A = this chain, B = another copy of it.
Amino acid sequence: MKQGSLQLGVAPPANRGISILDLFLRLVAIFGTLASAIAMATTNQTLPFVSQFVRFRAKFNDLPSFTFFVVASSIVSVYLILSLALSILHIAKANAVNTRFLLLFLDTAAMGLLMAGSAAATAIVQLAHDGNNKVNWFAICQQYNDFCKRVSGSLIGSYAGVVVLILLILLSGVALSRR
């Protein structure tokens, strides 16, 4: 009888709990990735001195890796907002399979994209802080101190987003196995 009711699509309560947790985690991830995308995109420091020809100004899009970071975390934020619809659907229909696979695939891709953006930006932030004397790349954080602080800080949100996406992938696995 229990088997029969499962097959007829009545959700076991545990799966509904998983779907609610899934929705909550998505909201956390949206907060993290959106905040870090905005923090990076609005980073902008103009130094208080001006040479004869150049005004010293640092913006995120001076460095391609930071631009990639902003694009990647924006895409992931938009995806996560859209995915809320399916997440809410799963609370109502806890036995859904195809949409869970869709979310599993898209969550995995989103995690990869967000991790790639964060790691690329981290590599450049490390270089900006320490420089590299083997290849004569100088540290720029002495001059652009506020810029570096802001950029480093904005990475926190996106790494938090990566961790939450890993949890969402595992939750999808649990939900699929309990169907």
- Asked if A170 meets B123 with Cβ closer than 8 Å, knowing A177-B177, A177-B179, the reply is no
* A residues 86-130 in Cβ contact with B at 8 Å: 97, 100-101, 104-105, 108-109, 111-112, 115-124, 126-128, 130
Copies of this protein, total: 2
When C-beta atoms are compared, the residue in chain B nearest to A168 turns out to be B108
A162: CB under 8 A from chain B? yes
Binds B, one of A16-24, A35-43, A45-53, A132-140: A132-140
Residues in B with CB closer than 8 Å to A117 are 119
When C-beta atoms are compared, the residue in chain B nearest to A177 turns out to be B176
Interface residues of A (CB under 8 A from B): 3, 58, 62-65, 97, 100-101, 104-105, 108-109, 111-112, 115-124, 126-128, 130, 132, 134-138, 140, 162, 166, 169-170, 172-174, 176-177, 179
Bound CA span A130–B111, Å: 28
Residues in B with CB closer than 8 Å to A132 are 62-64
Residues in B with CB closer than 8 Å to A115 are 112, 115-116, 119
Task: List 9 A-B pairs, minimum CB-CB distance, nearest first.
Answer: A120-B123, A116-B119, A119-B119, A176-B177, A62-B134, A123-B123, A137-B137, A65-B123, A119-B120
Interface of A is mostly: helix
**Interchain nearest-CB distance for A102 vs B (Å):** 11
A173 with B172: CB separation less than 8 A: yes
**Interchain nearest-CB distance for A79 vs B (Å):** 15
B126 with A65: CB separation less than 8 A: yes
A62 with B108: CB separation less than 8 A: no
Bound CA span A3–B130, Å: 62
Bound CA span A124–B119, Å: 11
Residues in B with CB closer than 8 Å to A137 are 127, 137-138
